[in-house]
Structure formats: C-alpha cells, structure tokens
C-alpha cells in the first residue's frame, strides 16, 4: 500500500478540479425509454465515470428500466463562445442551395 | 415447505432495520450524491419490508398490519439478524454491512423467486432487482476504499473484520423455510470473496459466530433503535397518520 491516492481505471477519471469537494463535475445526458436522442438533463459530482453513472441513475432516471445514460466529464466539453454567436450561427436562409429541399424523401427513411 | 410467519418476519425485519440504519446517514454522508444513493437504498429496503410485513400480518391472521408489526413489537419479538442492527460506524463499516447484507439478500431472494409460494416469489423477484443494485454500490465502495489510500484501506479492513462474524447467522439452518439459508453460504462467499480480493482486503477467518437475532435475542443496540423508531406510535396509540 502506498500513501498516494491512486485513481482507479474504469472510466478515465478526469483531472481533479479545485471545487469544494475535490470530485470533478460530470454532465449527464439521458435518453428516455421511448426517446430517440439523449438530452442533457443536468450535472453532478462524482469521483469517476462508474459512480457518475450510478449517481446519474439515482438523480435523473429514478431507475426506470430501459433508459440510456451518458456521462461526460465537464472538462471534456468544448462550448461555443456566446460572443461569437452571430458569426457562428448566422442563418443561411437566403442561400437556398444550402438546404436539401430538392430531394424526395425515400419511403422508410425514419427520423429525418 | 410452507411459508411461516416467523420466516416472513425475519426477511421483513432485516429490511426494516437496515432501512432505519441507512436512514440515519441522510444529510451526513461524505458527498451529496452518496446521500441520495444511501437514501435510495434505504427506500428500497423499506419497500421490501412493507410487502413482507404486510404478508406476515395477513398470514398470522391476528389483525396486525405492517405498522402494528413495525411499531408495536418490542426487541424480543423482532426476528432480524444481528448484522443489520449494528451501529453505522464510519463509512467503511456501513459499506461492509451493506455488502454482506446485499450479497445475502441477493442469493436468498433469487432462490425464493422460484419458490412455490407465489406471493413470496413475487416479492422476492421484485426485491431481487433492487438488492442487485445495492450489492453493486457496496462493491464499488469496498473496492475504492480497500484499494484507495493507506488510511481508507486500514478502515475498510477493520470494518470487514468487525462485521464478518455476523455473517454466519445469516446462514443458520432453517429446515421449515421455503429455502433453507444453510445451503446459500457457498453462493454468498462466491460473491463477496472476489470483491474482498479486488479490494486488496484479507478475508477474515471463520471463528466467532454470534447469533440470536432470529430468536429475538438481540444486541444491546436494537432496543435503542426501536425506542427512536417507535416513540411517536407508542405515544399516540391507535392514531391514524
């Protein structure tokens, strides 16, 4: 046994943040049982991915069967900057050639 | 084998007293998320206790419902194992207790979910899913603490050493039960030994094996626990809540 705390494998614990607990922040995405996509539902602190997943299950899904949960270390997420919003999200509504409106949707193509 | 009232009380009381102890952690856990997890586990145990005690009351046929059984029996009438009534101690002791209780409940409920008593089988298969999660939670923490720092390792080993003797009572023979717990210890060991090994902990030797809980002979801890749990019900007998 050594004195230094060892981070356990099993989810690649991110570097410690200097928050109140020493437990890093995780963002939680949940796909409801009949849902098509994962939605961001909130965040939590956990020492590693394994426990983040279990904590997310307790906090955000109430253990419904058949939901899918993603947890991501908050540090791994890069967000667009609010200052660049105009340049980033300028609508291209005037450029019709950028919109795929000239195609027939084939039969059986779901979720478009 | 027919289900007996005593057997249902043993299962129900295990869950009830475990829930009471876990409830003491609320707002005192090391982390907010762990607070939620322990409360969740306590709620699951309480849910199982309600189903089992309700069934016990009906089988007894003396008009006692779940509340009468929980609040109006004294310690000599409780059938829970000694393990669940032991104090919480530090976080490692709580996790050692939860690991052994959940491993025992998982093997027992799994066996019971196939028993001839349909009502007991249904309760067992519902509770089985929940205790699988409790076991998983305790396993993660046992490994984390055991294989964590020198201090957490020391505490986790001390906790396992302290609680281990009380696991023997869980597997005392009960030939009248639908599933005799005596046959389940090997399965229990198959669950907990690999966890202890992964957590770099020594498996304690089997020597001292305190028992008595199943016969209503408890440690000195239970009557204090019951005094707190039952105080309001005893102060206002017959009240509706």
Classify residue B241: in a domain, yes or no.
no
Give the whole-angstrom CA distance, residue B121 versus residue A106: 51
pLDDT at residue A87 is higher than 60: yes
Q: Bridge partners of A39? A: A30
Could you give the number of structural domains in chain B? 1
Classify residue B230: in a domain, yes or no.
yes
Give the whole-angstrom CA distance, residue B23 versus residue A79: 40
Across the interface, whether the CB atoms of B36 and A58 are under 8 A apart is answered yes
> Across chain B, what does the average pLDDT equal?
96
Q: What is the pLDDT of residue B178?
A: 92
Classify residue B223: in a domain, yes or no.
yes
The alpha carbon of residue A20 and the mean position of all alpha carbons in its chain are separated, in whole angstroms, by: 23
Which pLDDT band, with edges at 50, 70 and 90, does A66 fall under? Answer: confident
Quick check: B126 contacting A, CB < 8 Å?
no
Q: Average pLDDT in the A70-75 region?
A: 96
Classify residue B46: in a domain, yes or no.
yes
Classify residue B159: in a domain, yes or no.
yes
Q: Bridge partners of A42? A: A28
Tens-place pLDDT, residues B149-202: 999 999 999 999 999 999 999 999 998 899 999 999 999 999 999 999 999 999
Which pLDDT band, with edges at 50, 70 and 90, does A103 fall under? Answer: confident
Quick check: B198 contacting A, CB < 8 Å?
no
**Shortest Cα distance, chain A CAs vs residue B37, angstroms:** 7
Classify residue B95: in a domain, yes or no.
yes
Across the interface, whether the CB atoms of A4 and B149 are under 8 A apart is answered yes
DSSP A100: -
Classify residue B119: in a domain, yes or no.
yes
- Domain ranges, residue B194: 5-235
Q: What is the pLDDT of residue B2?
A: 79
List chain B residues with CB under 8 Å of A1.
150, 153, 200
Report the predicted TM-score, pTM, of the whole model to 2 decimal places.
0.85
Q: Average pLDDT in the A9-34 region?
A: 68
Q: What is the pLDDT of residue A26?
A: 96
pLDDT at residue B3 is higher than 80: yes
Tens-place pLDDT, residues A47-58: 889 999 999 998
Across the interface, whether the CB atoms of B148 and A58 are under 8 A apart is answered no
pLDDT at residue A17 is higher than 90: no
Which pLDDT band, with edges at 50, 70 and 90, does A5 fall under? Answer: very low
| Contact between residue B72 and residue B230 where contact means Cβ atoms under 8 Å apart | yes
pLDDT at residue B231 is higher than 90: yes
Give the whole-angstrom CA distance, residue B23 versus residue B42: 6
Q: What is the pLDDT of residue A30?
A: 93
Which pLDDT band, with edges at 50, 70 and 90, does B148 fall under? Answer: very high
Q: Looking at per-residue confidence, does B80 or A17 come out higher?
A: B80
| Contact between residue B106 and residue B135 where contact means Cβ atoms under 8 Å apart | yes
Q: Which of B31, B33, B149 comes nearest A3 by C-beta? A: B149
Give the whole-angstrom CA distance, residue A55 versus residue A48: 11
| Contact between residue B140 and residue B195 where contact means Cβ atoms under 8 Å apart | no
> Across chain A, what does the average pLDDT equal?
76
List chain A residues with CB under 8 Å of B33.
44-46, 51, 55, 58-59
Helix (H, G, I), strand (E, B) or coil at A10: coil
Q: Average pLDDT in the B107-134 region?
A: 97
Q: Which of A1, A51, A54 comes nearest B153 by C-beta? A: A1
Tens-place pLDDT, residues B26-84: 999 988 889 999 999 999 999 999 999 999 999 999 999 999 999 999 999 999 999 99
DSSP H stretches of helix in chain B: 5-23, 32-60, 66-71, 82-85, 91-112, 118-146, 150-163, 185-198, 221-235
List chain B residues with CB under 8 Å of A5.
148-149
Q: Which of A1, A45, A63 comes nearest B150 by C-beta? A: A1
**Shortest Cα distance, chain B CAs vs residue A79, angstroms:** 26
Classify residue B240: in a domain, yes or no.
no
Quick check: B144 contacting A, CB < 8 Å?
yes
Check which CATH number belongs to the domain holding B91 and give it: 1.20.1260.10
């Amino acid at each position: 046994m050594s004195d230094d705390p060892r981070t356990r494998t099993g989810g690649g614990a991110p570097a410690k943040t200097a928050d109140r607990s020493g437990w890093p922040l995780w963002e939680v995405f949940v796909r409801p049982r009949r849902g098509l996509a994962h939605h961001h539902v909130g965040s939590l602190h956990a020492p590693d991915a394994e426990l983040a997943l279990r904590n997310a299950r307790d906090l955000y899904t109430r253990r419904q069967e058949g939901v899918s949960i993603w947890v991501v270390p908050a540090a791994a997420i890069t967000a667009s900057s609010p200052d660049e919003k105009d340049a980033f999200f300028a609508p291209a509504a005037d450029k019709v050639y950028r919109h795929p409106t000239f195609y027939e949707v084939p039969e059986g193509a779901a979720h478009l | 084998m027919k289900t007996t009232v005593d057997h249902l009380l043993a299962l129900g009381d295990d869950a009830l007293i475990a829930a009471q102890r876990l409830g003491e952690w609320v707002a005192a856990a090391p982390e907010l998320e762990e607070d939620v997890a322990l409360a969740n586990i306590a709620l699951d145990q309480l849910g199982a206790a309600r189903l089992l005690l309700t069934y016990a009351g009906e089988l007894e046929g003396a008009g006692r419902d779940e509340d009468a059984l929980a609040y109006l029996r004294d310690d000599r009438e409780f059938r829970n194992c000694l393990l669940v009534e032991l104090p919480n101690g530090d976080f490692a002791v709580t996790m050692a207790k939860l690991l052994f209780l959940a491993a025992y409940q998982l093997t027992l409920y799994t066996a019971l979910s196939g028993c001839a008593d349909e009502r007991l089988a249904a309760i067992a298969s519902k509770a089985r899913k929940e205790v699988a999660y409790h076991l998983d939670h305790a396993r993660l923490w046992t490994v984390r603490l055991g294989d964590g720092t020198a201090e957490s390792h020391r505490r986790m080993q001390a906790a396992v050493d302290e609680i281990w003797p009380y696991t023997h009572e869980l597997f005392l023979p009960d030939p009248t039960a639908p599933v005799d717990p005596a046959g389940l210890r090997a399965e229990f060991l198959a669950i907990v030994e690999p966890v202890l090994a992964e957590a770099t902990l020594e498996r304690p030797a089997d020597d001292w094996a305190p028992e008595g809980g199943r016969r209503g002979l408890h440690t000195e801890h239970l009557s204090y626990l019951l005094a707190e749990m039952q105080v309001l019900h005893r102060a206002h007998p017959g009240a509706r809540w």
